[in-house]
């Protein structure tokens, strides 16, 4: 797994905020019109299409029609590039405005927006952001999402923790959904086809009398989802439970 914040901190912040723009002093760029924005946009396109590993400095340079060495004139390395990519997609994401709605609708909109971001840019799931890219895109996203907790009686530390809790849930569900899709691709079987192939084999060894609860619940879930796992059901079910938990904390704050 890659991680954000792996590049030179000072250079990364200069690039994120485009201060200074765009090259190291005294160096000439590979061609007129090429800049940090073009490098980042190309890297994001490669990562969206083929995964984060495809957004190497060499591949980005090839896509732009320049040499890898000339690309380093604009971005020092892969660590800084990943932070720039993350900030770009965070800055471009849609923020649903639910300011006048009840708090559950506001937080559900935050979750849905982040789910859309991760599904549109699956490589983001493969980056640890314990040290987030502190650029304008990420900060605008953070500001918008914090405001969804306005008026709930939580202190600042609780608001930050509640947002982290919500977004961690979204990331976990999206990662599981991606793994399910990869399994279907790797095996060339849908979940229903996989279970159809394995059910006769399982029936020979599985003792329903010994595991009656597992037999009953597993059969009910499988029938409901046409397989062992439904990403959409788990997202909606889990989101409601996350909001229920936050609601209990919010209620306690209101009561006190």
pLDDT (tens digit, 9 = 90+) per residue, 136-148? 999 999 999 999 9
- Using the predicted structure, report yes or no on whether residue 247 has a pLDDT greater than 50: yes
Q: Which band of pLDDT confidence, cut at 50, 70 and 90, is reported for residue 255?
A: low
- Using the predicted structure, report yes or no on whether residue 30 has a pLDDT greater than 60: no
Q: What is the reported pLDDT for 19?
A: 74
Q: Do residues 231 and 177 make contact, with C-beta atoms less than 8 angstroms apart? A: yes
- Using the predicted structure, report yes or no on whether residue 155 has a pLDDT greater than 80: yes
- Using the predicted structure, report yes or no on whether residue 94 has a pLDDT greater than 70: yes
Residues of the chain with pLDDT > 90: what percent?
Answer: 66
Q: What is the reported pLDDT for 256?
A: 54
Q: Which band of pLDDT confidence, cut at 50, 70 and 90, is reported for residue 24?
A: very low
Q: Do residues 171 and 118 make contact, with C-beta atoms less than 8 angstroms apart? A: yes
- Using the predicted structure, report yes or no on whether residue 182 has a pLDDT greater than 90: no
Q: What is the reported pLDDT for 224?
A: 77
**Averaged pLDDT of the chain:** 88
- pTM assigned to the model: 0.85
Q: What is the reported pLDDT for 29?
A: 47
């Amino acid at each position: 797994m890659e991680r954000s914040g792996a590049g030179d901190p000072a250079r990364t912040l200069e690039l994120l905020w485009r201060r200074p723009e765009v090259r190291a002093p005294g160096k000439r760029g590979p061609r007129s019109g090429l800049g940090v924005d073009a490098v980042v946009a190309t890297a994001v396109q490669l990562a969206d299409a083929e995964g984060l590993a495809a957004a190497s400095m060499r591949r980005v340079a090839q896509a732009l029609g320049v040499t890898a060495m000339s690309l380093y004139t604009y971005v020092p390395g892969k660590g800084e590039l990943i932070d720039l990519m993350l900030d770009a997609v965070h800055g471009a994401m849609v923020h649903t405005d639910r300011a006048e709605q009840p708090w559950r609708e506001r937080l559900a909109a935050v979750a849905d927006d982040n789910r859309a971001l991760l599904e549109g840019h699956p490589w983001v799931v493969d980056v640890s952001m314990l040290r987030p890219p502190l650029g304008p895109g990420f900060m605008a996203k953070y500001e918008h999402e914090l405001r969804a907790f306005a008026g709930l009686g939580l202190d600042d530390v609780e608001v930050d923790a509640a947002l982290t809790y919500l977004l961690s849930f979204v990331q976990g569900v999206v990662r599981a959904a991606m793994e399910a899709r990869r399994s279907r691709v790797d095996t060339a079987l849908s979940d229903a086809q996989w279970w159809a192939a394995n059910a006769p084999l399982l029936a020979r060894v599985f003792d329903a009398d010994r595991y009656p609860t597992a037999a009953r619940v597993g059969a009910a879930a499988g029938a409901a989802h046409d397989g062992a796992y439904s990403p959409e059901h788990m997202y909606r079910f889990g989101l409601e439970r996350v909001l229920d938990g936050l609601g209990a904390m919010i209620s306690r704050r209101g009561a006190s």
